[in-house]
Chains A and B, each alone.
Chain A
Amino acid sequence: MTIVDTRIKHGDASDGLLGGRLARIDGPAKITGAADYAMEHAPEGMVYAVIVDSTIASGRVVAIDTSAAEAYPGVLMVLTPDNALTIKTATDWTGAPPPAVPYEPLAREITFAGQHIAAVIAETFEQATAAAALVKVTYEETAPISSFDDPRSGEGYPIDMMTKEWGDAEAALAIAPVRIEQEYKTPREYNVPIEPHGLIAHWEGDMLTLWEPSQWIDGMSRTYAEWFSIPFENVRMLSPYIGGGFGSKALPTRYGAVAAIAARMLDRPVKLAITRPQTFTAFGGRPATRQTIALGATREGKLLSIVHRSANETSMDDVAVEPLGSVTSIMYAVPNFSSRQNIVPVNTVKPGALRAPGENPSAFGIECAIDELAYEVGIDPLDIRLLNYAEEDPHAKKPWSTRRLREAYAAGAEAFGWAKRSPSVRSMREGKQLIGYGVAAGTYPVRRTPGEAMVRILSNGTVEVASSGIDMGQGTYTILAQTAAEAIGVPVETVVVKLGDSALPRAPVAGGSQLANLMTGAVHVAALAARDELIGLAINDQNSPFRDLQANTLTIEGGQMSSPRDAGSSVAIADVMRRTGRDRIEALRNTLPESLRNKDDHFRNFTTISTMLSPTEGDYSMHSWCVHFVEVRVDVDFGTVRVSRMVSALDSGRLYNPKLAESQWKGGIIMGIGQALLEEGLVDQRNGHVMNNNLGDYLVPTNADIPDLKVISVGVPDTNASILGGKAVGELAIVGVAPAIANAVYHATGIRVRDLPITLEKLI
């Protein structure tokens, strides 16, 4: 359990209120090295596990010779499919009941390179690493299908629930005065949090403690419980700080099962930290995608039809869908629309979620295509977006709850100086640098799951907030302290926030950019309940200093209680607590609807995504919106691209802490710059290996790649979207960055790159 207290110097008291620019309250721990990340715990007697991975991508394991590894000093066990404890398959994250077959985290049948096949457990990390290299595996290899670029992979199969159609798109396209059609591709991309994945598993009898970086304490705890057939309450997962996740730390993994099995079998705490190269194959990043987009339009650029066909890679044994029509279907007003999607099985680990799964590549397609149409009909790329502005959700046919995209276009264009753009391609130049301006929009839906929180007012007047929700850098600790401080009326410094522990009240996944909204909502409700109880106590208790006032209510400000009838005399909360003899006031509240408040639905709400509401559930269509304006400079001889300037205007509704929200937006934008110019999982087509499985070869942005970034908030509170008016923040800002850069590169060079990343060989 981690307690973060809030002794932070800040500008003025209003910083502590919701909407204030309070510095992050977990900051002091992080800048001094005191923050205890999950895998930095060291239970007595801990031993180390190292995973042995498959070196082939397709075939089967014929034999595993463990003798040399077992004979190595310090080795306690070599775990293989033959000796591993049998565990059950668990309910998946959607809530689908599991098949009644064992779950085998170590494989005999190989469907991708890097699949776990054995694990060595030894007294020290060095011994386990050395011994793992001595495990000899004999394979029977079959020819892999390494990617969906291999013709043998075929067209895959359709995912019918991705089909979105209205009007008659094909017919309207056929008679449209202007038609363009192109294919857009994105490669495999990886999450690459700087904290690698892993865990410490520790059994005490039938109690399992897991120190594991997790975006979803309750969902993952459920899986461990079901794997080992123990009650949910027997699993304690601790994840006080998470060193980045970006979607990759939300679900249980094979190596997690391996560590827990090894710990069970050895009756010792086992630490298993996967290596950096293993972070490219132990779980999946964003799958490779391809989209064909045909636009039909009038000669003035008004859209008549969109026909969208797409596909993403999946693994041989499972279904991963990157929803590629998600932005295509809502960004522009269009009378005829058709979007269909296939998935194509190849020999890869099952792809996972990476920042804005679906919206990100979807926006790359449509936001490049609309730019191409603008040039085709000869109008400004910003004007074509306004011309086709969707006044309501064209797919759901519902009004937007809020859509400040028009305001974003205006604010961004003004701050960027879009009016200075010369319309023709290759028309702006400084010396050897071709200069290009590009624009693209982005969006991310508001996902909603009910939340839960405990708020306590303690006898010394301080306030405690508790939740199993997590903070991986989004600022959860900070905004929940601000929420409670404002709701109760205490200085933010007196609020302590506890997170990242399954022993605390439940929380759904920190994914889909939903956590801030649902947790501030739950804390707000719980804090008001605690405040009401405190006021009731102060009015009614016979020992209360307010008893004689016969007041109907009291106010609380700055930790001081006072009566509207006698504003002059205020009493500290701690004094009221002392005089009335209370050691705490406690309010546990959730925001579940009445229909889901029974025990089973409560559990289901927090351990699966089955109760998450879609953005169009209800009367409105709810999304965050953004636009990016980019200036690129392309070296005329070498084709190197630098992003030299960027302005983004974003509508995330109300910001609970603009300082932290701006950081998250900029982080998304920077990841988008990496996606546009650098990031690409390179697959060896001969053997299915991810060749650049390290940080020297899989390039992510460095400091020198990033210019100053200007972000502008254009949002207004949206109380349809959430209790306190916020919309999605974390995943929004990456959406639209890559197409804005691609469009700027086209403007600079006249070369249209439709397959990411935009590397120099594509420009010379």
Chain B
Amino acid sequence: MSNQTTINLEINGRIQSLAVEPRVTLLDALRDHLELTGTKKGCDQGQCGACTVHVDGERVLSCLTLAVQVEGRAVTTIEGLSDPGAELHPVQSAFLEHDAFQCGYCTPGQIMSAVSCIREGHAGSDEEIREYMSGNLCRCGAYPHIVEAVREAAKVMS
């Protein structure tokens, strides 16, 4: 069907207008319509966490969210976590320092989840970090380094 609807989304602090069908997911809207490909499609069925973004400050799976659902809500993607050219977010720096990724494909989702994990107050121990970071799969197996990175970033952010 081509019953497109025009929606206004606030992405990374900027209002963007786009015409999409109501069935278009937030993930596909970001990647295919707004050229924000930092948010990754790993499974498209809510199982891997690669598409994690923040909506009104909370982590959300953008593949299970329709674009029309987030009108009037603030969406933050990996591209909006730190300003281009400016200093990296502490979680980003920690991921680099601790080599908390290899192929990098799950990484934006991991980082968005890690920011939330810390903000939610779930980075109190390694065990807690492991539990609250378990919605994001990493097949390269960077988990121990992700735990180190979240632990370090939590210290900086507190």
Residues of B with C-beta under 8 A to A31: 78, 88, 92, 95-96, 101, 104, 107-108, 111
The answer on a CB contact under 8 Å between B137 and A194 is yes
Residue in A8, A30, A667 whose beta carbon sits within 8 Å of that of B141 in the complex? A667
Cβ of A32 within 8 Å of any chain B Cβ, yes or no, is: yes
Cβ of A385 within 8 Å of any chain B Cβ, yes or no, is: no
Cβ of A26 within 8 Å of any chain B Cβ, yes or no, is: yes
The answer on a CB contact under 8 Å between A33 and B37 is yes
B130 CB, nearest partner CB in chain A, Å: 4
Interface string of A185-206 (1 = CB under 8 A from B): 0000001111110000000000
Stretch in A239-247, A294-302, A602-610, A628-636 touching the partner: A239-247
A275-B44 contact given A124-B21, A194-B50, A695-B137, CB 8 Å threshold: yes
Instruction: Please measure, in the bound complex, the distance between the C-alpha atom of A686 and the C-alpha atom of B95, giving whole angstroms.
Output: 46
Stretch in A35-43, A94-102, A445-453 touching the partner: A35-43
The answer on a CB contact under 8 Å between B134 and A26 is no
The answer on a CB contact under 8 Å between B133 and A244 is no
Instruction: Please measure, in the bound complex, the distance between the C-alpha atom of A701 and the C-alpha atom of B137, giving whole angstroms.
Output: 8
Instruction: Please measure, in the bound complex, the distance between the C-alpha atom of A695 and the C-alpha atom of B84, giving whole angstroms.
Output: 33
Instruction: Please measure, in the bound complex, the distance between the C-alpha atom of A700 and the C-alpha atom of B140, giving whole angstroms.
Output: 11
Cβ of A659 within 8 Å of any chain B Cβ, yes or no, is: yes
Residues of A with C-beta under 8 A to B142: 663, 666-667
Instruction: Please measure, in the bound complex, the distance between the C-alpha atom of A243 and the C-alpha atom of B43, giving whole angstroms.
Output: 13
Residues of B with C-beta under 8 A to A700: 137, 139
Stretch in A145-153, A283-291, A702-710 touching the partner: A702-710
Residues of B with C-beta under 8 A to A40: 31, 37
Cβ of A14 within 8 Å of any chain B Cβ, yes or no, is: no
Query: Which residue on B lies nearest to A276, using beta carbons?
Result: B43
Number of contacting residues on A, CB 8 A?
Answer: 63
The answer on a CB contact under 8 Å between A125 and B32 is yes
A244-B103 contact given A194-B40, A708-B144, CB 8 Å threshold: yes
Cβ of B24 within 8 Å of any chain A Cβ, yes or no, is: yes
B25 CB, nearest partner CB in chain A, Å: 9
The answer on a CB contact under 8 Å between B101 and A195 is no
Query: Which residue on B lies nearest to A129, using beta carbons?
Result: B23
Residue in B24, B48, B105, B111 whose beta carbon sits within 8 Å of that of A37 in the complex? B105
Interface string of B108-141 (1 = CB under 8 A from A): 1001000000000000001001110111111111
A477 CB, nearest partner CB in chain B, Å: 11
Cβ of A237 within 8 Å of any chain B Cβ, yes or no, is: no
Cβ of A45 within 8 Å of any chain B Cβ, yes or no, is: no
Cβ of A615 within 8 Å of any chain B Cβ, yes or no, is: no
Query: Which residue on A lies nearest to B145, using beta carbons?
Result: A663
Query: Which residue on B lies nearest to A35, using beta carbons?
Result: B104
The answer on a CB contact under 8 Å between B141 and A701 is yes
Number of A-B contacts (CB under 8 A): 184
The answer on a CB contact under 8 Å between A704 and B37 is no
Residues of B with C-beta under 8 A to A273: 41
B136 CB, nearest partner CB in chain A, Å: 7
Residue in B39, B103, B130 whose beta carbon sits within 8 Å of that of A195 in the complex? B103
- Contacting residues of chain B (35-82) with chain A, CB-CB under 8 angstroms: 35-45, 47-48, 50, 77-79, 81-82
Residues of A with C-beta under 8 A to B129: 703
Residues of B with C-beta under 8 A to A475: 102
The B contact surface, by secondary structure, is loop
- Contacting residues of chain A (690-704) with chain B, CB-CB under 8 angstroms: 694-696, 700-704
A255 CB, nearest partner CB in chain B, Å: 16
The answer on a CB contact under 8 Å between B130 and A694 is no
Residues of B with C-beta under 8 A to A666: 141-142, 144-145
Query: Which residue on B lies nearest to A36, using beta carbons?
Result: B37
The answer on a CB contact under 8 Å between A703 and B143 is yes
The answer on a CB contact under 8 Å between B92 and A703 is no
Residues of A with C-beta under 8 A to B24: 126
A32-B88 contact given A244-B139, A473-B140, A703-B136, CB 8 Å threshold: yes
A472-B103 contact given A32-B88, A701-B143, A703-B143, CB 8 Å threshold: yes
B28 CB, nearest partner CB in chain A, Å: 6
The answer on a CB contact under 8 Å between B105 and A193 is yes
Residues of A with C-beta under 8 A to B99: 23-24, 27, 659-660, 662-663
Interface string of A262-299 (1 = CB under 8 A from B): 00000000000101100000000000000000000000
Residues of A with C-beta under 8 A to B11: none
Cβ of B1 within 8 Å of any chain A Cβ, yes or no, is: yes
Query: Which residue on A lies nearest to B92, using beta carbons?
Result: A31
Residue in B96, B111, B131, B138 whose beta carbon sits within 8 Å of that of A23 in the complex? B96
Instruction: Please measure, in the bound complex, the distance between the C-alpha atom of A314 and the C-alpha atom of B144, giving whole angstroms.
Output: 36
Interface string of A677-699 (1 = CB under 8 A from B): 00000000000000000111000
Instruction: Please measure, in the bound complex, the distance between the C-alpha atom of A32 and the C-alpha atom of B108, giving whole angstroms.
Output: 7
The answer on a CB contact under 8 Å between A669 and B103 is no
The answer on a CB contact under 8 Å between B21 and A246 is no
Interface string of A18-30 (1 = CB under 8 A from B): 0000011011111
Residue in B48, B79, B88, B102 whose beta carbon sits within 8 Å of that of A474 in the complex? B102
Residues of A with C-beta under 8 A to B147: 703
Residues of A with C-beta under 8 A to B131: 703-704
Instruction: Please measure, in the bound complex, the distance between the C-alpha atom of A555 and the C-alpha atom of B51, giving whole angstroms.
Output: 50
Residues of B with C-beta under 8 A to A717: none
B72 CB, nearest partner CB in chain A, Å: 23
Residues of A with C-beta under 8 A to B141: 666-671, 701, 706
A199 CB, nearest partner CB in chain B, Å: 14
Instruction: Please measure, in the bound complex, the distance between the C-alpha atom of A749 and the C-alpha atom of B138, giving whole angstroms.
Output: 31
Instruction: Please measure, in the bound complex, the distance between the C-alpha atom of A29 and the C-alpha atom of B140, giving whole angstroms.
Output: 18
Cβ of A34 within 8 Å of any chain B Cβ, yes or no, is: yes
A194-B143 contact given A73-B1, A275-B44, A702-B134, CB 8 Å threshold: no
Cβ of B106 within 8 Å of any chain A Cβ, yes or no, is: yes
Query: Which residue on A lies nearest to B126, using beta carbons?
Result: A708
**From A26, A475, A668, A701, residue with most partner B Cβ within 10 Å:** A701
The answer on a CB contact under 8 Å between A667 and B78 is no
Residue in A196, A473, A671, A696 whose beta carbon sits within 8 Å of that of B104 in the complex? A473
**From B41, B99, B103, B144, residue with most partner A Cβ within 10 Å:** B103
Interface string of A242-257 (1 = CB under 8 A from B): 1110100000000000
A-B pairs, 7 with minimum CB distance: A33-B38, A243-B105, A473-B102, A30-B104, A670-B141, A667-B141, A473-B103
Please, could you name 26 A-B residue pairs with CB atoms under 8 Å apart, sorted by A? A8-B96, A30-B101, A31-B92, A31-B101, A31-B104, A31-B107, A32-B78, A33-B39, A33-B78, A126-B24, A126-B28, A193-B139, A194-B48, A194-B106, A196-B43, A243-B40, A243-B103, A244-B139, A244-B140, A246-B139, A276-B48, A660-B99, A663-B145, A695-B137, A703-B133, A708-B144
B binding-site residues for A, Cβ under 8 Å: 1-2, 21, 23-24, 28, 31-32, 35-45, 47-48, 50, 77-79, 81-82, 84, 88, 92, 95-97, 99, 101-108, 111, 126, 129-131, 133-147
Besides A31-B78, A31-B111, 5 new A-B residue pairs in contact (Cβ under 8 A), listed by A number: A31-B88, A33-B37, A195-B105, A475-B102, A703-B134
